[in-house]
Each structure stands twice: as C-alpha cells, then as structure tokens.
C-alpha cells in the first residue's frame, strides 16, 4: 500500500476552491486499491475522519494573521512525520500544494527523507505577482518558491507555461518536473433551472442566455478595470453579471472612481455564489464568459467556463491561450480590443455561439478531464510515471 499525504488545501469535503476541488476529485475518483490518501484539513479541533475512502486529519491552527497558512502546513507536516513513525509506514509520498513554507521546509524534509518518504510539490501560479501582497510579502513568496522547488523530489505543474517557467528560473541537475493539468467536468446538455434558481435571476432582472458573465476573485490582476471599461464602451444592451467576493473596500472604491460603473445599469455585482448547482446554472445560461486572469497557472474558473459556457472571451496571455486554444476568442488590454470583440460577438446567432461551445467542451474532454487526470496522478504516486 502506498500512502499519499496531501498538505496545503483547506481540506475536504469541498464546496469551493481550486485545490479543495482537486483533492475532492483525486480522492473521490480514486481507482487504484494500492493507494491510500491522507488529507490535511484546516479545523478548530484535532481529530480524524473518513471521507471518499481517504483519512482526513484535522489540523487546528490559531489565528495568527498572514502566517496562519504557513503554520497550518508546518503543523500538517509534523502530523505526517509522527504518523509515519508511529505506524512504521514503509512507502509514502507527501504532496504539498503551493509554495508557502520554503524557508522552513529543510528540517522537515530531512526527517521525511530519513523515513524514506518522498516529497512532491505543486507550485500553483505566480503568487508573488499578485497585487494584493505588499512588496515584502511578494519577496517572501518568490524566495519560498525558489527554496521549495530546489528541495523537493518532484515538481508537478498544472500548467505547461508554469513548468517552462520553473525550468527557466530554477534549472539544476536534480530538478525533476512533470505536467499534469487541473480538471473540469463537462455536463452534456443544460441542467433544468429550478424554481429557486429562476428566482435568483428574476430578483436581479437577468434574462437567461442574455448576459455576459465574470467569475473570479476580486483582485486587480484579474483585470476588472479593463473588462468593465471595455464593456461600458461596447454597444451591447445585455447585462454584465459579475460573480465575485465584492466588498465596499479600497479596490471597489478605486474601481468605481476609475470607471463609474454604478452609473451603467447593465453592470451588476452579485456577490459570491457558493451554491455550486446555482453557479453551474449561471455559467450554462450566460451568453458569453469574460476571463481577465493573467497571473499564472491553469485557472479553475476558466476550465469550468469552457465546460459550461458556449462562448468564452479570454485575455490573450500564455496561461489562458494554453487552456482555451482554438475553443475561445481572445482580447488584449489595449483600449478598444475587448469592446470591439463584444460588439462583434453580440450579433452572433445561437449556432455560431454553440459551435464554440462544442469546441470548448471537446477541449475539456480531451485535455482536462478529471478521470484522466486522476489516472495520471495515480501513475506518478505509484512510480509508474515520472
């Protein structure tokens, strides 16, 4: 039996979140009886429970501010080391999600290696480029990434562009990488809109199949300013529905001051939608999806959009083009680029949109199918693929 300890997600069961959804699918779609997963879960009380045939171990962490996630990973590693020792585990892998603990990893890694445990890493995206972090925090993220990539036994990248970046910046004789993408699930045919779900649309006066959609974290690097300015420049009479964790904060206020979006009745910030069935319906019934993410990695919201929304309009950066390929239309941050594209597609009839929808679903099925991804991970953990 090969034991795989997964550290870095908030845990399962998962309602939202990229890493959480990944772990949900990895454990829920498990095929090999030769694997057993142990999943760290952020919790208030220390305990263990079983879910998806995995052993979930709760790790309580005090609220110490920005360092909470670092402490969570380190306490989880400590739990793993104790478990391996106490149970005389002979065959194991620790899989760490994200590069938070680089400056602190060495002593833990030394103990793991002494116990015969390999350590794998998913570096995620370019966290050190995110505008929400101060300069010292960005410096920490970059240093932590460098230290972790150089110490672990294998770096598993969910983006080809991230793998290229890792080799360009951290090439060494011992660096080992592989590419395994993030996934999505294609639904064949639209789901039935329930009475409660229809009420969500009616309350916001949003007509099915007649709105543009944005889903993503409310951060500057997702280019809300460009998307909103360009949408306001466009001639479309459709609404722009923005699903995000919007709050009356500085970024929101700056965005309003820069764009005056509140004066445009077409633009609606609707808050976060945690009900995954409702979110799926919102995606399926959008006229088109706008994606402005430009900071690293394979973005889960983009994959979900390709799996559900017929027409996807993506910011033309390497990460997005890698995923969307010929199944999407692209725009740049140059003034007029997105508004011109919106004006173009706004006149398309349903067959034109659905042709792109077919390409998008085929793209997900062929390249980002969870079932295939789980098989690839199992082969890596069992040493059948490097």
The DSSP string of 97-146 is ESS--GGGHHHHHHHHHHTTEEEEEE--S-GGG-TTS-HHHHHHHHHHHH
Where does residue 337 rank: exposed (0-12), middle (13-18), buried (19+ CB within 10 A)?
middle
pLDDT at 189 over 80: no
Q: In terms of CATH, what superfamily is 195-367?
A: Glycogen Phosphorylase B; (3.40.50.2000)
Domain with CATH 3.40.50.2000 in the chain: 2-183+369-381, 195-367
User: Which residues sit opposite 92 in a β-bridge?
Assistant: 3, 117
Distances (CA, A) of 12 to 15, 81, 277: 8, 21, 18
User: Taking Cα atoms as reference points, which of 117, 17, 9 lies closest to residue 54?
Assistant: 9
Given its phi and psi angles, is residue 60 left (phi above 0), alpha (psi -120 to 50 degrees) or beta? beta
- Averaged over 72-88, what is the pLDDT? 97
Measured between alpha carbons, how far is 360 from 355 in angstroms, rounded to an integer?
9
Question: Whole-prediction pTM value?
Answer: 0.90
What are the tokens at 71? 């402490």
Among 3.30.70.890, 3.40.630.30, 3.40.50.2000, 3.20.20.70, what is the CATH number of 2-183+369-381? 3.40.50.2000
pLDDT (mean) for 26-34: 96
Q: Give, to the nearest 10 degrees, the angle between helix 224-233 and helix 337-345.
A: 50
pLDDT value at 248 more than 60: no
Average of pLDDT values for 218-222? 87
pLDDT band at 296 (very low <50, low <70, confident <90, very high): low
Distances (CA, A) of 269 to 274, 289, 302, 308: 15, 15, 19, 21
Beta bridge partners of 242: 214, 269
Q: Residue 55: in which H helix or E strand, if any? A: strand 54-60
User: Confidence class of residue 386 from pLDDT cuts 50, 70 and 90?
Assistant: low
pLDDT band at 245 (very low <50, low <70, confident <90, very high): confident
pLDDT, one tens digit per residue, over 59-76 is: 999 988 778 999 999 999
């Amino acid at each position: 039996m090969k034991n795989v300890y997964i550290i870095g997600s908030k845990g399962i069961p998962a309602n939202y979140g990229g890493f959480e959804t990944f772990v949900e699918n990895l454990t829920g779609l498990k095929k090999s009886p030769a694997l057993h997963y142990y999943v760290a879960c952020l919790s208030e009380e220390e305990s263990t429970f079983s879910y998806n045939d995995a052993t979930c171990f709760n790790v309580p962490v005090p609220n110490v501010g920005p360092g909470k996630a670092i402490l969570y990973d380190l306490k989880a590693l400590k739990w793993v080391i104790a478990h391996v020792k106490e149970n005389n585990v002979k065959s194991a892998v620790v899989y760490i999600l994200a590069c938070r603990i680089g400056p602190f990893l060495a002593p833990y890694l030394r103990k793991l290696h002494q116990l015969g445990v390999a350590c794998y890493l998913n570096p995620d995206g370019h966290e050190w480029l995110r505008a929400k972090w101060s300069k010292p925090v960005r410096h920490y993220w970059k240093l932590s990434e460098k230290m972790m990539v150089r110490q672990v036994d294998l770096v598993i990248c969910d983006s080809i562009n991230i793998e290229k970046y890792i080799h360009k910046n951290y090439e060494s004789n011992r660096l080992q990488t592989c590419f395994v993408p993030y996934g999505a699930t294609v639904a064949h045919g639209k789901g039935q809109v329930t009475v409660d779900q229809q009420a969500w649309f009616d309350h916001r006066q949003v007509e099915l199949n007649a709105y543009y959609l944005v889903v993503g974290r409310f951060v500057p690097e997702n280019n809300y300013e460009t998307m909103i300015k360009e949408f306001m420049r466009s001639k479309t009479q459709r609404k722009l529905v923005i699903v995000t964790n919007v709050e009356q904060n500085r970024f929101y206020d700056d965005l309003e001051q820069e764009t005056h979006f509140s004066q445009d009745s077409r633009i609606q910030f609707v808050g976060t939608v945690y009900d995954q069935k409702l979110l799926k319906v919102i995606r399926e019934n959008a006229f088109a999806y706008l994606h402005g993410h430009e900071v690293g990695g394979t973005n889960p919201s983009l994959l979900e959009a390709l799996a559900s929304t017929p027409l996807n309009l993506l910011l033309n950066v390497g990460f997005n083009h890698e995923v969307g390929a010929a199944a999407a239309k692209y725009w740049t941050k140059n003034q007029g680029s997105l508004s011109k594209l919106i004006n173009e597609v706004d006149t398309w009839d349903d067959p034109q949109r659905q042709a792109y929808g077919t390409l998008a679903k085929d793209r997900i099925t062929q390249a980002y199918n969870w079932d295939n991804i789980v098989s690839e991970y199992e082969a890596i953990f069992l040493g059948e693929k490097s």
